[in-house]
Chain A
């Protein structure tokens, strides 16, 4: 069974640009959660999508958004990038939801210059 796939793995952007990250969950998993990890803040929950609907959202500004497609693949978008958005973005797949057993992808490491 294939694991969780995140693309791209690494990317560099400049302030003001926008970025889209992709996550393909484990086959059969309908829940996809997104996390931001920075050295100072640890793992922060961004949002969860379940069956194409945003079910839960963390405490992040509206510049952070996401969506989920009918095949459960999910994308997250960050608009008007700021230096502080530099982080590792992790996607987690689950058969039940954001508080169930989670399986993570390798992450997308974003650097904002």
Chain B
């Protein structure tokens, strides 16, 4: 089955810094989603991005489906950006569950 890998696994930055999180997937996908899990456990939907680029404030995401990767950019990091970022892919050959990456744990220091 499809494999979804995220890098880096951990990232520690100072407030104000920019970061790029990567999600690689081993096979074709129908869609790709990015989520932020806050310290209280809630998963927040950031982007639903099968291909192309989307932006939402300080966050943007790009998926290059033909090369099987997606990137999440966070600019001017704030302490509230801390948490775990997950990507999840919907495989082309399965229509019932997403395949999740292991996550990138981001810590933003004041």
* Chain A interface residues (CB < 8 Å from chain B): 33, 37, 42-43, 45, 48, 55-56, 58, 88, 90, 92, 97-107, 109
Contacts and interface: CB of A to CB of B under 8 A. Distances in A.
Contacts of B35: 102, 104
A99 B86 contact: no
Given A106-B40, A107-B42, A98 B86 contact: no
Nearest to A37: B41
The winner among A43, A55, A107 for most chain B CB atoms within 10 A is A43
Contact of A90 (B30, B43, B94): B43
Contacts of A99: 30-31, 90, 94-98
Nearest to B103: A42
Interface of B: 30-31, 33, 35, 40-45, 48, 86, 88, 90, 94-98, 100, 102-103
Contacts of B42: 104-107
A103 B45 contact: yes
Contacts of B48: 101
Contacts of B96: 48, 55-56, 98-99
A102 B89 CA distance: 12
B45 A43 contact: no
B100 A58 contact: no
Given A107-B41, A107-B42, A98 B103 contact: no
Contacts of B40: 106
Contacts of B41: 37, 88, 90, 106-107, 109
Contact of B97 (A42, A56, A104): A56
Contact of B33 (A43, A101, A109): A101
B63 to A, nearest CB: 14
A33 B45 CA distance: 15
Contacts of B33: 101-102
A102 B36 CA distance: 12
A3 B56 CA distance: 19
